[in-house]
Amino acid sequence: MLVGFQGHDLLSTLSSLSSRRLELLSLARTRAGEHARANDDRGRRLAQRVSASGATPAECDKYRACVEEADKIASLLAGLAARMARAQNAVDAVGSNANTNAISTEEKVREEGGKETPTAILQVSIEC
């Protein structure tokens, strides 16, 4: 237990911090949705401009294919960034704990099916 905190004080503090964090995440999700809708609208207007500019149907299809590929790449980059953040958080947590905790975490992951541990992923990325 944290020094200077009673059980009830700690619980209420953690509860208020969790509530605040949920509010911030909800706001971020709302803003992300607004940005996505705005980008979709811009994309539709731009596609209409390409079509109206006298582009051939083949050129319009190429444009749409490029936009779809860019969307896929952005999605993959966002997924990679999230994975890297989780790996970094896991490495930070392992670094702050004793080595015995790190070893037991890696053993637990190996027992669950041989999945790579965050430290193993980090090691591979360092070697590359």
Please state, in angstroms and rounded to a whole number, the distance separating the CA atoms of residues 56 and 23: 48
Q: What H or E segment, with its residue span, contains residue 26?
A: helix 7-52
Domain spans, the chain: 7-54
- Model confidence over 62-118: pLDDT tens digits? 998 998 999 899 999 999 999 999 999 888 888 776 455 545 555 665 555 555 555
**pTM here?**
0.49
Please state, in angstroms and rounded to a whole number, the distance separating the CA atoms of residues 124 and 84: 13
Q: Within 10 Å of residue 61's Cβ, how many Cβ atoms? A: 11
